[in-house]
Structure 1
């Protein structure tokens, strides 16, 4: 099995790259989706969040009130760490389970683990990656996307960027960087080319070259 770690800052275009790799045949594991699963209505995770942050973070239908929780944690790093302490262990276990299931189903599977906190996953020994791909766009571009596409204020967008790893931390662990500040179409060709190299690498024909820098694009996260 070949495991790709895919990461990028908020609004960098990471989800578009993940979707394309899945279309090409990768087994996608989305850390954000796993995080939603561990706080679904009726879960231990959601109960712990309600106990920690209060009833305002749970909607009348029993689901998580994400805007209310986001307003709390993005304004207070200590409270954000309390949330992480609740959700991260459960997400880590689900990650291990999904990767093991992919391996059992097909030992030659190419798994793409799509995760915002990939640098932390590497440091914590959660996953051993064959290749780390970072989707990169400058902060100004990402802020504009969040304002235009998500309806955030500039202050809210800046706050969310500040809550994540820095560009330097992500780029420091990258084998491949996709610079994503142009058109969506411009992303697909280099991603496709990367996929062909990964197929060859998984088959043992070549090694995917470290430090590849791929052309820029503007796929939206």
Structure 2
């Protein structure tokens, strides 16, 4: 598995060890359904961010992410539009409908014949949970038709919890100062610089400086884009 490894200071075991809790919980339900491994990736907006949890080998994950674009526009669009499970085959990779063709060869080398992908929406963010299977295509199709609803229910229950309690495990978020975070919240409410200045009890020049810093850190061209990116990164609700 590849994760940050930093423990979060909550008393709940799930929050303290989310990488262990989530992989154990999903494996317990998915393995009896023929899903041998899984990969959970946080996707902000339209681009995948390479913070993930997985039961796959480090060697496989390193190769999987080498190209830096392991999701096609088609798959990203699918994730944005629905919560429905999607059946896929390694042949889809060869046909370049899911990702670069080279990843089809990689999956074949790992004896992965297909699987089930489930998008999870949380606020402005998306998480893609991709279950891999070494079963035959017919067996994977059978598992999809018989068990995808159960697998989806489990996934849609567990994943929002880890996003809510430990978002940094799946999302790379800019580090904002407390003042910048406060200013960002007021920006999200559509407040002007003078209004923010009064609420924060700082000068208008200071607010202007904070807004400029926020735009720079979020890579946004304007306030509207900054608020959108902040929501996608779970910086604000």
Instruction: Assess same fold via TM > 0.5.
Output: no
* TM-score normalised by the chain length of structure 1: 0.27
* Bigger RCO of structures 1 and 2 (CA < 8 A, at least 6 apart): 1
